[in-house]
Chains A and B, each alone.
Chain A
Amino acid sequence: MSQLALRVKVGRLESLTENPTHYCAGCEHGTLTKLIASAMDDLGIRERTVMIDSVGCSVLAYNYFNCDHVVAAHGRAPAVATGLKRVRPELMVFTVQGDGDAASIGLLELIYAADRNTPITVFMVNNGIYGMTGGQMAPTTLQGQITTTTPEGRDKLLTGSELDASKLIAGIDGAAYVKRSSLVLTEISGPRGKVYTIKNILDAKKSVENAFRVQQKGGFAFVEFLSTCSVNWHMSILEAKRHVNNEVIKKYPLGLFKDTFGVETK
């Protein structure tokens, strides 16, 4: 239980700037930003961490993380991270990509970074849609889901099935750590009605820290985070969170796919 206890830091995280984020209300990008910054503080790595900012809702991360940044082209963050890590192995190099960035236009870069067991950390936010560009279909979009480019709903006969990035990367020999977590609060029934639990957030925090630890051990780490995009899903924040917990999770079940170094159990 002590492992699950969320350590609360009083005051500002050193790894965060004081800039307010641009993320929409209810978006879990903010949660992930906080978890990553918190892990950087806890592991004491801020001063030797470089974030590779990807293209998508995460592109402005250089305004939020108080560390060095390189802003990559759409999909190319794992390649940029590879180049940097290989010439400066003392650095911690990570990226936060969206599902469109990592699993569509940048799938080759992701696969080969994993295949070479490149010691970098890739966090992928899966919200099933292209958020930044205004709600187009992503490789992760669910069947029947309406997006601006699938106005009749996604149909696998034409646009394919949901791409399970974690399963795909876990199938690659080189990948050392692959996990799917969720950044979405869950509802449970308590004695006095429904309450919200941060169980998922605690697990996500553990995933972030372990993904950094795997890099420190010299391995490639990939963590997929289920997330909402209530704006482009045209749902209320609460509806969107329920949608992930009731529907999205069926297609993308949470779990540890691979853990070569056994960091998760320690």
Chain B
Amino acid sequence: MTRVYLKGNEAIAYGALEAGLNAYFAYPITPSSEIPETLAKEFGNKKFPEYKFFLQAASELEAINMVIGAASGGARTMTATSSPGFSLKQEGLSYAAGMELPFLIVDICRAGPGLGNLGPEQSDYFQATKGGGHGAYRLIVLAPASVQEMASFPRLAFDLAFKYRNPVLILGDAFTGQLKEDVEFPKLEPSKFDVSEWAVTGARERAPHILNSLELDYQKHYNHIAKIFEKYKRVEANEVRFEEYLTEDADQIIVAFGIVARIAKGVINKLRQKGVRVGLFRPITLWPFPKTALRKLVDQGKQFLVVELNTGQMIEDVKLAVGESVVVDFLGKWGGIVPTESEIENKLRRLEAVAV
């Protein structure tokens, strides 16, 4: 076990290297650029013998399509970007989902729309969890709330990507990307993945492998999408991840992900000392969304406060999970502004008053 003091973005880079990253394709954009910078610096480090290639592409589109090429060859590959760049990645993500390619993409979300600013937001939630590009598909989406999770999620992401042959997204934000904390890397070998059934490695003593999203025969294409959505059902059944913090006896539950969940924990700890029973439900996989676990909390007649760094996106999934009969309030901050603990506390107090 090694313990290091790292920025969130650096932790993602080292986490990917520890997980056996083969190739990185870069395009710089604030506030994600420490990821390619770290990986450029570490290129050639003998500590990471699997790490064979680093290249800065000429555009976000070029980078994601290089990732598609490398993933087609069975390599463990990734790229990272931030919101305006994530919009440009959507073309490649749609193709990759259709071709069933495994790789890791990171979006260090900043304020939008358009150029927005460089501050933290979670306003890419829709784009991240609903498909984002054209056509019917999903990304598996992991939302880290600490630098430690930034460090350990790349391994999980590659495991999931290769298990289900689908791109996996780590959705961070400008806050978690720039946050600096102690992290630990467990001494673990990179996972082994068998790509021999599908990767393009040259058709030697086997039929050609064709990685393709095109199917002109309507019935065949219907079947292909049906097959992908059968796979997504397995993901929904097996890969839901979430954290519950003091929810058992709580009258009020804050639902938040990423950095907001950290702030919410601070509020909860403070209120608990005053005897107020508040808990936190933190989705770790934004897709598949932990709707069943959240619904279980409804049965106990609790109030919900969704706090997000946007104008209200995850709240739609929360409402779908808990239904119309429950009070679901919302606190949103955007434009790079993060809610303070007292703002969340005030909102909880008002919510309590409404319920009475």
Contact = CB atoms under 8 A, between A and B. Distances in A.
Interface of A: 46-50, 52-53, 59, 62, 66-73, 76, 79-88, 90-91, 108-109, 111-112, 116
Contacts of A70: 68-69, 72, 99, 200, 211-212
Nearest to B67: A83
A67 B208 contact: yes
Given A68-B203, A71-B214, A108-B62, A52 B69 contact: yes
Contacts of B75: 87-88
A47 B211 contact: no
A49 B95 CA distance: 22
A72 B68 contact: yes
Contacts of B53: 86-87
Given A50-B72, A71-B210, A83-B66, 10 more contacts: A50-B73, A50-B202, A68-B202, A69-B200, A69-B210, A79-B62, A81-B69, A85-B69, A86-B69, A87-B22
B65 A72 contact: yes
B58 A69 contact: no
B304 interface: no
A83 B65 contact: yes
Size category of the B interface is 35 or more
Contact of B203 (A66, A71, A87): A66
Interface of B: 22-23, 25, 52-53, 55, 57-59, 61-63, 65-75, 77, 91-92, 95, 99, 200-205, 208-214
A62 B23 contact: no
Contacts of B213: 71
28 contacts: A47-B205, A50-B73, A50-B202, A53-B212, A68-B202, A68-B208, A69-B210, A69-B212, A70-B72, A72-B68, A73-B95, A76-B62, A79-B61, A79-B63, A80-B66, A80-B68, A80-B69, A82-B69, A83-B66, A83-B67, A83-B68, A83-B70, A86-B23, A86-B69, A87-B73, A91-B73, A111-B58, A116-B55
